[in-house]
């Protein structure tokens, strides 16, 4: 695979660039380039037709100097060890940037969940949990939802883990239903974070959010919530898309109506009164804010020169390659990096973990207020560093995050 499209090579390149700027010691730099632990498991699953299929699952811990491992689990045919390792590294930086006491982790299973029944997904998830039990735990590794996983998936993991240890352990996962210890506000948290940081960035650029044209690539949990909350904040969401393509209207889409249409037909395409656009075309639409909220590597050297947005807000993990980063920066396009823009999810996951440990739960208003306060502070810290050091926002975010992880790694020392 081309290094520009290899997620682990991309993550390490980002680290290397920042390490030089913050004068990171070679020993610490070398340690941070490598993941602490990788678990690869076979997941034998009974299918509905009576056959047995064996899926491959991964769970990677990057760095645990600041706390237990935290990160989502995704189900997708494109899952790879390099991808999961890169996502674990990015999660380390994200948690450090938000100053929450977690290290980075990520998990994934190579499968096609849309071709599987609910019962097949449940059996696969429960077997995956059993295989990962050796590293899971509320003080060791706390999974969360990611691509093609959701609150129901987390409930299966919670139940399977609890059955194995003999008592209920709600803090072993986050992003689970409120009825079994989930946090209010968790479902919209990543989208809320995108909109909160977008609002701060627009204010910095002197642009009003009212009427701002927004294009959102991806209509899963993150993209759907981001589009809906952006519209509620007064923005004009002109385009949204899913894996099959997208819809566009220059005067703005009715996002609630698009959500209803999507639920009825299973895709956003064909929404009445809109024009069809491809995912590639959506990235090049004229707008104030472009939000890639689907998979990684969407903005590359090949298309970054055609982006016509004033700002890019990374709702997905790793949607912009380093080569595209440079092109966007040279063109004066303001970019909010993923470790800041989509950090709302892990932040409310932290809140959920804390609530589970305390067995004391907050209102949705309390959750949202705490989330926005932390995001505004993180944005202000990154913007200040960006202006003082005369570097792009991604570099500034990495400078802060890597410095915090390096400090914890340095103070803890090397064992033995």
In a domain, 227, yes or no: yes
Same domain, 163 and 200: no
Q: Is 325 exposed, middle or buried (0-12, 13-18, 19+ CB in 10 A)?
A: buried
For residues 64 and 135, membership in a common domain is answered with yes
Does residue 24 sit in the same domain as residue 83? yes
Domain holding 32, by residue range, is 7-168
Instruction: Say whether both 162 and 195 belong to one domain.
Output: no
Please check whether residues 56 and 91 belong to one and the same domain. yes
Rounded alpha-carbon distances, angstroms, from residue 166 to 141, 151, 152, 162, 269? 18, 22, 21, 6, 47
- The enclosing domain of 207 has a CATH number of 3.40.50.720
Last residue of a domain, one of 336, 357, 382: 336
Of 110, 137, 168, the position where a domain reaches its end is 168
Measure the CA–CA gap between 292 and 295, rounded to whole angstroms: 8
Q: Is 387 domain-assigned?
A: no
Domains held by the chain: number: 2
Q: Indicate whether 92 and 20 sit together in one domain.
A: yes
* Pair 232, 318 in one domain: yes
Same domain flag for 149 and 102: yes
Compute the distance between CA of residue 286 and CA of residue 239 in angstroms, rounded to an integer: 10
224 and 306 co-located in one domain: yes
Nearest to 136 by CA among 73, 83, 91, 93: 73
Going by C-alpha positions, the residue among 379, 381, 386, 397 that lies closest to residue 199 is 379
Q: What global pTM score does this model have?
A: 0.93
Q: Same domain, yes or no, for 205 and 149? A: no
Contacts of 373 (CB under 8 A, 6+ apart): none
Considering the domain boundaries, does residue 115 fall inside one? yes
Q: Does one domain contain both 43 and 114?
A: yes
In this structure, is residue 346 part of a structural domain? no
Same domain, yes or no: 195 and 317: yes
In terms of phi and psi (left: phi > 0; alpha: psi -120 to 50; beta: otherwise), the region of 212 is beta
In CATH, what number is assigned to the domain containing residue 47?
Answer: 3.40.50.10860
In a domain, 367, yes or no: no
Residue 344 in any domain: the answer is: no
Q: Does 130 fall in a domain?
A: yes
Helical axes 393-412 vs 81-97, angle rounded to 10°: 90
DSSP strands (E only) in 255-387: 275-277, 286-292, 308-313, 334-336
Instruction: Burial-class residue 199 by CB neighbours within 10 Å (0-12, 13-18, 19+).
Output: buried
For residue 373, with 0-12 CB atoms within 10 Å meaning exposed, 13-18 middle and 19 or more buried, which class applies?
A: exposed
Inside any domain, residue 180:
no
Tens digit of each residue's pLDDT, the chain (416 residues): 566 678 999 899 999 999 999 999 999 999 999 999 999 999 999 999 999 999 999 999 999 999 999 999 999 999 999 999 999 999 999 999 999 999 999 999 999 999 999 999 999 999 999 999 999 999 999 999 998 999 999 999 999 999 999 999 999 999 999 999 999 999 999 999 999 999 999 999 999 999 999 999 999 989 999 999 999 999 999 999 999 999 999 999 999 999 999 999 999 999 999 999 999 999 999 999 999 999 888 999 999 999 999 999 999 988 999 999 999 999 999 999 999 999 999 999 999 999 999 999 999 999 999 999 999 999 999 999 999 999 999 999 999 999 999 999 999 998 88
- Which residues, at least 6 apart from 330, have a Cβ–Cβ distance to it below 8 Å? none
Closest by alpha carbon to 181, among 189, 173, 192? 173
Q: Which residues are catalytic, by number?
A: 106
């Amino acid at each position: 695979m081309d290094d520009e499209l290899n997620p682990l090579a991309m993550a390490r390149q980002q680290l290397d660039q920042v390490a030089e700027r913050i004068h990171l010691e070679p020993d610490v730099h070398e340690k941070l380039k490598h993941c602490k632990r990788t678990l690869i498991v076979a997941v034998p699953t009974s299918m509905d037709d009576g056959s047995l299929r064996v899926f491959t699952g991964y769970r990677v811990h990057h760095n645990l100097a600041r706390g237990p491992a935290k990160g989502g689990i995704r189900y997708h045919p494109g899952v790879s060890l390099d991808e999961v390792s890169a996502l674990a590294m990015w999660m380390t930086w994200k948690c450090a940037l938000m100053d929450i006491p977690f290290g980075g982790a990520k998990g994934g299973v190579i499968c096609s969940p849309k071709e599987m029944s609910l019962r097949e997904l449940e059996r696969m998830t429960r077997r995956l949990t059993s295989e990962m039990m050796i590293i899971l735990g509320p003080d060791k590794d706390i999974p969360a939802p990611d691509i093609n996983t959701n609150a129901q998936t987390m409930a299966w993991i919670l139940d399977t883990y609890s059955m194995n240890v003999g008592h209920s352990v709600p803090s072993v996962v986050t992003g689970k239903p409120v009825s079994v210890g989930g946090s209010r506000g968790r479902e919209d948290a990543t989208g809320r974070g995108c909109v909160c940081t977008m609002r701060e960035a627009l204010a910095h650029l002197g642009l009003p959010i009212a009427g701002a044209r927004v294009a959102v690539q991806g209509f899963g949990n993150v993209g759907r919530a981001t589009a809906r909350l952006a519209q509620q904040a007064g923005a004009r969401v002109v385009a949204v898309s899913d894996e099959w393509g997208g819809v566009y209207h220059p005067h703005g889409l009715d996002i609630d109506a698009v959500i209803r249409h999507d639920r009825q037909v299973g895709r956003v395409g064909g929404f009445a009164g809109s024009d069809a656009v491809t995912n590639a075309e959506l990235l090049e639409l004229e707008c104030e804010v472009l939000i890639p909220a689907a998979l990684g590597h969407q903005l590359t050297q090949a298309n970054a020169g055609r982006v016509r947005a004033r700002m890019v807000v990374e709702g997905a993990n790793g949607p912009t390659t380093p080569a595209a980063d440079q092109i966007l920066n040279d063109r004066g396009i303001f970019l909010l990096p993923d470790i800041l823009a989509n950090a709302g999810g892990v932040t409310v996951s932290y809140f959920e973990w804390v609530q589970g440990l305390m067995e004391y739960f907050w209102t949705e208003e309390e959750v949202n207020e705490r989330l926005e306060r932390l995001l505004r502070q993180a944005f202000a810290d990154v913007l200040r560093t960006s202006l003082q050091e005369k570097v792009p926002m991604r570099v500034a975010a990495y400078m802060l995050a890597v410095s915090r992880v390096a400090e914890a790694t340095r103070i803890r020392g090397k064992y033995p």
